[in-house]
């Protein structure tokens, strides 16, 4: 049956209109706002051209935030995907309780972020927290009082928590992909005497490539604009040592406790964030491009 072009356009129109109105218009408006000095109160704006972007390039906190975001993206991604691969390999090796393990590892994804930050905050509390109590119990007094949430380690403490939360999501994604791979491939490999690792490397990974690519794109977008966890991890206010670009943008534009309200400048940060996301996704898609395997 041949569907007329008019009908296709008709069906596409509502979604396209919504996309245009709620995504494209705000995006291009944001580009415009980023050229103004504006606190967001009323219409009192003054055009400053590219000054916001010039200021951004000399803004220490912006670069500190960007560096944290990049570290979460690269290092966090490496650990998350590494762990997700290992767990996928283990869970698909035929062990009992596969569903239980999957559910347990995925569990953090269904818990509210604020509950998770509270949990991790208390876990890291020196002396009274879980880690403190553990080290205290085994007689490691110095470690029991170690300031995990101190300025030098707070970012790393946060990264560990993020990895713990996110690994479950990518594990489930990979497991769903593995379920689609015909069992015959593995049986043939076993008959040929392949080890578990060889089967994983030579069958699972190549046939899972598309899923891995999608996972990496999703992670990149999430990691570059990560907000909720860093925002609520460090008490009353986000800590500068764990600022991400999205957190910094929020602080500048919308305020937490401090009435900064530099909406024009914050929008410039947002535009940079969008550009970084686009760049990362483009690079990733290029790096991950492979010949498609049919099965």
Partner 1 sequence: MLRTKGIVSLVVLLAMVVVALGSVAAQEEQIELVYWSMWNETEGQALVIQKWIAAFEAEHPNIKINAVWNGRQNQTLVRTALAGGTVIDIVDQDADQIAGGLMQEGFGLRLNDYLEMPALDEDVPLKDVFLPGTLDLFAMDGDIYLLPYIYNTVQFWYDKRVFREVGIEVPLTWEQFLANNDKLREAGYAPIAAEGNEPFYSTFYLANMVARIKGPGFLLQTAEDPTGEMWRDPVYLQTSEMLRLLWDRGDIPAVTLGYVWPQGQNTLAFGEAAQSLVGSWLPIELANMVDPGFEWGGFNFPAVEGGEGSVNDTQALLLAFMIIKDTQHPDEAAEFLRFIMTKENQQLMADESLVGVTRKGIEWAPAIADAQAAAMNAERIFPDVDGVYAKHAEYLNTILGVNYSELWQGKITPQEFVDKMATQSAEYWATH
CB of 33 to partner 1, least distance (A): 12
CB of 64 to partner 1, least distance (A): 9
- Under rule CB under 8 A, residue 124 binds partner 1: yes
Return d(Cα 212, Cα 177) in angstroms, integer: 9
- Under rule CB under 8 A, residue 231 binds partner 1: no
Residue tagged 């009323």 (tokens): 42
- Under rule CB under 8 A, residue 160 binds partner 1: no
CB of 255 to partner 1, least distance (A): 6
Work out which of 17, 190, 237, 278 binds partner 1, going by CB under 8 A.
237
Site for partner 1 in 75-104 (CB under 8 A): none
Work out which of 77, 121, 177, 264 binds partner 1, going by CB under 8 A.
121
Stretch that binds partner 1, among 17-25, 67-75, 149-157, 270-278 (CB under 8 A): 149-157
* Residue nearer to partner 1 on the CB measure, 108 or 121: 121
- Under rule CB under 8 A, residue 138 binds partner 1: no
- Under rule CB under 8 A, residue 240 binds partner 1: yes
* Residue nearer to partner 1 on the CB measure, 50 or 293: 50
- Under rule CB under 8 A, residue 254 binds partner 1: yes
- Under rule CB under 8 A, residue 245 binds partner 1: no
Residue 52 contacts residue 35 (beta carbons within 8 Å): yes
- Under rule CB under 8 A, residue 44 binds partner 1: yes
- Under rule CB under 8 A, residue 65 binds partner 1: no
Which residues are near partner 1 by CB under 8 A? 39-44, 55, 58-61, 121-122, 124-128, 145-151, 154, 234-237, 239-241, 251-252, 254-255, 257-262
């Amino acid at each position: 049956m041949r569907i007329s072009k008019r009908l296709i356009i008709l069906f596409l129109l509502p979604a396209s209109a919504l996309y245009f109105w709620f995504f494209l218009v705000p995006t291009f408006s944001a580009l415009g706002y980023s050229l103004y000095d504006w606190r967001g109160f009323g219409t009192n704006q003054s055009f400053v051209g590219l000054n916001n972007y010039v200021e951004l390039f000399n803004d220490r906190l912006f670069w500190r935030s960007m560096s944290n975001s990049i570290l979460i993206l690269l290092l966090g991604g490496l650990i998350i995907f590494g762990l997700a691969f290992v767990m996928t390999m283990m869970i698909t090796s035929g062990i009992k309780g596969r569903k239980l393990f999957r559910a347990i590892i995925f569990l953090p994804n269904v818990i509210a972020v604020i509950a998770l930050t509270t949990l991790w905050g208390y876990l890291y509390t020196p002396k009274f927290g879980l880690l403190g109590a553990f080290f205290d119990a085994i007689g490691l007094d110095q470690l029991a009082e170690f300031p995990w949430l101190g300025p030098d380690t707070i970012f790393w403490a946060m990264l560990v928590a993020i990895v713990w939360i996110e690994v479950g999501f990518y594990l489930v994604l990979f497991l769903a992909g593995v379920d689609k791979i015909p069992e015959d491939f593995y049986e043939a490999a076993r008959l040929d005497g392949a080890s578990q690792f060889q089967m994983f490397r030579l069958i699972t990974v190549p046939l899972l490539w598309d899923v891995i690519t999608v996972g990496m794109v999703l992670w990149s977008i999430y990691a570059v604009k990560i907000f909720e966890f860093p925002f609520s991890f460090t008490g009353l206010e986000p800590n500068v040592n764990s600022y991400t670009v999205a957190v910094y943008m929020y602080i500048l534009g919308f305020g937490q406790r401090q009435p900064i309200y530099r909406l024009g400048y914050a929008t410039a940060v947002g535009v940079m964030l969008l550009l970084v996301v686009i760049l990362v996704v483009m690079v990733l898609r290029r790096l991950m491009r492979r010949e498609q395997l049919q099965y």
